[in-house]
A and B are shown apart, each in its own frame.
Chain A
Amino acid sequence: MTEQAPIFILLFPFLTAVIVALVGLRHKSLSWPLTLVSLGASVCASLSTLAQVVEHGPIRYKLGGWSPPFGIEFHIDGLSALVAVTVSVVALLTAIYSKDNVDAETPDKSSQYYSLFLLLVSGLLGIVITGDAFNLYVMLEVAALTSYALIAMGNKRASLAAFKYLIMGTIGASFYLLGVGYLYIKTGSLNMLDIREILETAGLFNSPTILVAFILITVGVWIKMAFFPLHSWLPNCYAFAPTTSSNIMAPLVTKVMIYVMVRMVLTVFGPNYAFEILDWENIVVWLAVIAILAGSIGALAQKDLRKMLTFLIIAEVGYMVGGLWLADETGITGTIFHIISDAFMTLCVFLFAGIVFAKTGARDIYALEGMFKKMPLTMVGFLVGAFSLIGIPPTAGFFSKWYLVQGGINSGNWEYVVALLISSLINAVLFFRLIEIAYFGKKPAEGHDHHHGDDHAKVSEASFTMLLPLLSTAAILIVIGLYNKELVSVIQDFLSQFNLATSIR
């Protein structure tokens, strides 16, 4: 049973997506419980897989018994197991939260909605656990197609945002596919580990074809993860999508794309090629610095709560791209750690934004007025998420940033360290502004006192299904922070095979 766990991670949400769509024709009320059960099973499967990986090392699961490189395999090492656990847990928490939102925002479509939701999760899980470069493309498109539909279910503006995302997403995925094509020309293989082996044994690293493949894959993945100059699709999509859609996509989609980048750089091309033969680190780290600053400054300019958070995602993507290209073991540890902690802290603040929107119907940050008195528990959850994004111990965000900064110092990329600190300061400004509004009830200068006063009289604590995921996410953030040593040891076990630079230059 446990040796079959890798396939169950994917199978549960994937098959349930079909079942939910069919059962939903008759019994709409069953959609939500079915979704919860399948995602719960998926969480168990991914935890069991993680336990196996930690104990016995990487798992190579052959689909249908066909041995690689001819068959497709799932290759699960420490990195993919950790990200798979993150994805499935975030999905489960969002699913619990979604109960009221889905009924309110997409009435009569709840079964279709949950079906798409589960397909999105299975696509993301597929990206994480597959060991085959073309299979990854297919999973990328499964996740992308469902996310276009999930976004387009929102309000009027969401449709246009979804259309733009569809165009950008297709270009990104097509670049990735082309890159895989060029890799296939040179190596004749689609299996990631096999590609790496052929690249090394045949000494193909100086070939221009491989360079083209690397550039196409990198740019394709950058578009998909909204790395700064290529980010234009993201803010509107996540700000105007239905609450549940942005709650699942904001934490996961960009983070899974960063996983793809890490996977491509470390496992497929190898750090030796990406960091030493190409020697691009400084350019990419500078791009990341620009992305971090642009994202943070963009966030300062926003009055819409959710839109402000989407710009923070862009800054966080800059953290992780920069962290990887520091080419330093500590920096890369920080990147992988940050994939996990950022997924949870983004989830935390988006869940909070969703609750505020559901309770007040307002999008702007002044809707938070007096929230501490009206919904104290919700605010506790929000505070933990905000502290984590700022980087205050003992939350997870502090430790992942710690490793990123340490990596920047080790590799001598001071511009990255400075950008990270500035961005943390800006996060502090942003969130303390929110906390101030929520605690002291500071009103905007123009003053819509009457309007707000009436609305807020009715606001009370969020319902149990909304509160439980928010508080669990907050608890997870603190637990990750407290047990950061254990997490880092799993990441460093994974990284130890690559002989990365560790010494101070």
Chain B
Amino acid sequence: MELLQSIADSFNYWIYIILMMIGLYALVAKNNLVKKLIGMSIFQTAIILFYVSIGYKDGATIPILYEHQAHHGHHDAGHGDAEDAHHDVEHAVEEAAKEIHAVAEDHADGHDAHADDHDTLVDSHDAHTSSAIHAEDFANPLVHVLMLTAIVVGVATLGVGLAITQKLYGEFGSIEESEIIEQIRTGK
């Protein structure tokens, strides 16, 4: 039961491991070069799932601040003008960025013993900001941005891989690795 519970709790991470192993298997065991590349793609997708899972928090929403939220946050400070709203948003974003930096890990890896150290860090931030905007209400956007880059890299790798496969097909008339190796061996 405990095992099942722990699997259910970190469902994303189990899926990422399984996907990664499927990809690795295809990379190592498949004979067809295109299938190898598909395996490589699955492998990289697993890492994307892993990163996206890091950014997830229970009950958190997308990291976009609406004007009234930012405004509400500083209501007690006496800002009422529409002109100040913009400044408030900026200030709130800065505060949120500081908090995200501090809490990034204890929401991603809540089981860990060291999370305590950082809770106190966050508390100290809470104490002196009095803002209604807290980093824990928002998913961590940084990892998603990182993954946009990783997706681009993955697409580029796949493109280069397919181009090389095409070149191999032109040269050997086959995309089966064993046949190509056989041709190299006998052709020499």
A residues lining the B interface (CB < 8 Å): 69-70, 134, 137-138, 141, 145, 148-149, 152, 156-157, 159-160, 162-163, 166-167, 170-171, 174, 177-178, 181, 184-190, 202-204, 207, 209
Question: Which residue in B54, B117, B157 is a CB contact (below 8 Å) of A181?
Answer: B54
Chain B 96-125 residues near chain A, CB threshold 8 A: 97, 100-105, 108-109, 112-114, 117-118
- A209 CA to B104 CA in the complex, in Å? 14
- A190 CA to B140 CA in the complex, in Å? 14
Q: Which residue of A lies closest to B103 (CB)?
A: A188
| Residues on B with beta carbons closer than 8 Å to the beta carbon of A203 | 114, 117
Q: A148-B161, A171-B24 are in contact. List 11 more A-B contacts (CB 8 A).
A: A70-B101, A138-B153, A156-B184, A159-B164, A159-B167, A159-B171, A174-B47, A185-B54, A187-B104, A189-B104, A204-B114
Stretch at the interface among B66-74, B79-87, B142-150: B142-150
- A167 CA to B157 CA in the complex, in Å? 10
- A368 CA to B168 CA in the complex, in Å? 32
Is the pair B157, A145 in contact by a Cβ cutoff of 8 Å? yes
* List of 7 A-B pairs having minimum Cβ-Cβ separation, nearest first: A188-B104, A141-B153, A159-B168, A152-B164, A185-B108, A156-B171, A159-B167
Is the pair A202, B44 in contact by a Cβ cutoff of 8 Å? no
Q: Which residue of B lies closest to A186 (CB)?
A: B105
| Residues on A with beta carbons closer than 8 Å to the beta carbon of B108 | 185
- A209 CA to B13 CA in the complex, in Å? 13
Within the complex, the shortest CB–CB distance from A174 to chain B, in Å, comes to 6
Q: Could you tell me how many residues of chain B have their Cβ less than 8 Å away from some Cβ of chain A?
A: 45
Residue of A137, A148, A163, A178 with most partner-chain B CB within 10 A:
A163
Is the pair B184, A202 in contact by a Cβ cutoff of 8 Å? no
Is the pair B101, A188 in contact by a Cβ cutoff of 8 Å? yes
Question: Which residue in B102, B161, B180, B181 is a CB contact (below 8 Å) of A188?
Answer: B102
Within the complex, the shortest CB–CB distance from A264 to chain B, in Å, comes to 18
Question: Which residue in A137, A138, A152, A207 is a CB contact (below 8 Å) of B167?
Answer: A152
Is the pair B33, A138 in contact by a Cβ cutoff of 8 Å? no
B40 within 8 A of A: yes
B156 within 8 A of A: yes
Is the pair A185, B109 in contact by a Cβ cutoff of 8 Å? yes
Within the complex, the shortest CB–CB distance from B169 to chain A, in Å, comes to 10
Is the pair B117, A163 in contact by a Cβ cutoff of 8 Å? no
B172 within 8 A of A: yes
| Residues on B with beta carbons closer than 8 Å to the beta carbon of A167 | 27, 36, 40
| Residues on B with beta carbons closer than 8 Å to the beta carbon of A202 | 114, 117-118
Is the pair A148, B47 in contact by a Cβ cutoff of 8 Å? no
Contact (A148, B164) CB under 8 Å given A181-B47, A184-B104: yes
B12 within 8 A of A: no
| Residues on A with beta carbons closer than 8 Å to the beta carbon of B181 | 160
Is the pair B54, A184 in contact by a Cβ cutoff of 8 Å? yes
Chain B 129-152 residues near chain A, CB threshold 8 A: 143, 146, 149-150
Chain B 156-188 residues near chain A, CB threshold 8 A: 156-157, 160-161, 163-165, 167-168, 171-172, 177, 180-181, 184
18 contacts between A and B (CB under 8 A): A70-B101, A134-B149, A145-B160, A148-B161, A159-B167, A170-B44, A171-B27, A177-B47, A181-B54, A184-B105, A184-B143, A185-B104, A186-B105, A188-B101, A188-B104, A202-B114, A203-B114, A209-B109
Within the complex, the shortest CB–CB distance from A196 to chain B, in Å, comes to 15
Within the complex, the shortest CB–CB distance from B116 to chain A, in Å, comes to 10
- A141 CA to B54 CA in the complex, in Å? 22
| Residues on A with beta carbons closer than 8 Å to the beta carbon of B117 | 202-203
